[in-house]
Amino acid sequence: MPHVSIKHFPRAFTEDEKADLVAELTRTVTRVFGVEPGSVSVAVEPVAPADWTAEVHVPEIEAKAGLLWKQPQYSQPIPTEGSR
């Protein structure tokens, strides 16, 4: 069953933003994978800017580069919270 996992710099989301993100992701995933909405799960995990390289960039982007369908376009050093 499709599971979408998003890691991001911490920020507050309104209930409307959460609902919109879940609805749009679910709509796309169900269309592309040909599954029912009930089979889709979505996780959203904040990661502090200071931890991004160690917790996300190295293990999720560098180590799994062959699985990425879209590469990030940021350059080193990894952007900090103030430069997103």
* Catalytic residue positions, numbered: 2
Q: Which amino acid is at 74?
A: Y
Report the C-alpha gap between 69 and 14 in whole angstroms: 29
What ranges in the chain are assigned the alpha helix state H? 15-33, 52
Tokens of 62: 């560098």
Strands 3-8 and 41-46: parallel
